[in-house]
Amino acid sequence: MLPKNQRLRFSQDFTATVRSGARTGRRNVVLYARVRNDEPQGNNRFGFIVSKAVGNAVHRNLAKRRMRALAAQFTADAIGLDVVVRALPGAADVTWDELSQQVESGLVTVIRKAGVKREEGL
């Protein structure tokens, strides 16, 4: 589980990130990111959206656990972003390596689209 200060917990934060953030899609996930104005160099915060289209509760929870574990790897690079990861229907059926590659490449792209200047890659 991600620490409380690294999670999106309010619907307003999810809505703001999805509506006004940069967006990029991969085969099994869609990522949204926006730079927070209140805390520009604070922690990155992650939120996850996994609908019933992904599968039953077992499959949805598997997808959420995998995405949380992947997000935990990227919390050390604190650049003050809110990131929402939406799982698409095939997210629970792909292997760990495929999902990891999709989320990582999606994060790199969405961070670039959000306008964050970085000297080194993710």
Backbone region of residue 19 per phi and psi (left: phi > 0; alpha: psi in -120 to 50; beta: other values): alpha
Residue 39 lies inside a defined structural domain of this protein = yes
Nearest 5°: the CA angle 32, 38, 13 is 40
Residue 119 lies inside a defined structural domain of this protein = no
Residue 118 lies inside a defined structural domain of this protein = no
In total, the chain counts a number of residues equal to 122
Residue 121 lies inside a defined structural domain of this protein = no
Assigned token pair, 25: 């899609």
Total domain count for the chain? 1
Which residues 6+ apart lie within 8 Å of 58 measured at CB? none
Nearest 5°: the CA angle 46, 11, 31 is 40
Is the pLDDT at 7 greater than 70, yes or no?
Answer: yes
Return the residue matching tokens 């620490």: 3
CATH number of the domain enclosing 60: 3.30.230.10
Is the pLDDT at 121 greater than 50, yes or no?
Answer: no
Q: What domain range includes position 12?
A: 4-113
Residue 78 lies inside a defined structural domain of this protein = yes
Q: What is the pLDDT of residues 70-103, one digit of tens each?
A: 998 887 676 788 999 999 999 999 999 999 999 9
The letter for the amino acid at 3 is P
Tell which residue, 24, 20, 15, has the closest CA to residue 35.
Answer: 20
